[in-house]
Amino acid sequence: MKNLDWGKLSFGYSKTDYNVRCYYKDGKWSAPEVSDSEMLNIHMASTCLHYGQEAFEGMKAFRGKDGKIRLFRCEENAKRMLSSAEYVMMQAPSIELFEEAVVKAIELNKEYVPPYESGASLYIRPLLIGVGPQMGVAPAKEYIFVVFVAPVGPYFKAGFKPTKVMLERRYDRAAPNGTGHIKVGGNYAAGMRSGEVAHQKGYSTAIFLDSKEKKYIDECGPANFFGIKNGSYITPFSHTILPSITNASLMVLAEDMGLKVERRLIPVEELETFEEAGACGTAAVISPIGQIDDLENNKSIVFGKPDVPGEWCTKLYNRLRAIQYGDEPDKFGWVKVLNF
């Protein structure tokens, strides 16, 4: 294991030893190749640069108390990349090739998987881009699939502590029938301005409303939103929301732990009726929301105690992490134990 200060890692890029690459050309994918370069050599007329033909995933590997490395729900990430690629007319790697490349990237960099209870994990970034010269707006004929990894700390600086978020009423993250439901870079570019404004004002992120009517809760910056009230775990339903694998897992756990699960429209006025609220995703896992500020209406909604995560946020966070780290039996078949 590398001699790093694991407890002081931020959520950012750091160099590891190797990455894994596959190339699509002449109608077929190459076998995974190992590279120690951090650079991609692509044509300046590549479709990823001009027409946004790219998709990516985010996932994590964890080192358990037993020293074994565990990979969380890899197949679901592979399926989501297939869905993203299909929507923006790209040739995606098969589920088998996706998993092979991910596992190989972890194995090559296993010394960077943080130790148990360090508060850090190994973040995995599979990336698919359209390459090759293309002037007209059309799908690329060639693609590169690359998997790189980096040890990371918590996504939000506060870690598992309640944060304040800003309600975004001016800007939209995705069009009603656009690409909000797939994991492509354009969605994140569209939300970047709001995120930066939120940070400048002292908030961890911004919550977007639906882009059609501005009546319902949509995405919570780079994560899904959920609220707890009256024994229910409630999360928005919308075509513009990315189907978070973490949120899907939390819905299963919530039901298993006795909560009713509701995936539906959430009117913005309903926010003040929630007992707890949170943002969830691979990077953050769960980030409890302590306060939502509606700046345009000069209104604040507070959930529970300012510095204390809610009861259900805490229970769900601890349960999911226990499964990811192997501290609890994985009765759902979510974890792959890597034997290397």
pLDDT for res 112:
98
Ranges of residues in the chain whose predicted pLDDT is under 50:
none
Residue carrying structure tokens 């050309």: 25
Q: Which domains does the chain have, with CATH numbers?
A: 4-150 (3.30.470.10), 161-323 (3.20.10.10)
> Helices 311-325 & 245-256, crossing angle to 10 degrees?
110
User: Which H or E run includes 62?
Assistant: strand 59-63
- What is the rounded average pLDDT for all residues in the chain? 96
Residue 222: the pLDDT is 84
Q: What is the distance of C-alpha 58 from the center of its chain?
A: 5
Q: What is the pLDDT of residues 34-68, one digit of tens each?
A: 999 999 999 999 999 999 999 999 999 999 999 99
d(CA 93, CA 18) in angstroms, rounded, equals 20
pLDDT for residue 221: 81
CB atoms within 10 A of CB 35: 14
DSSP symbol at 181: T
Catalytic residues: 183
**Amino acid of residue 103:** V
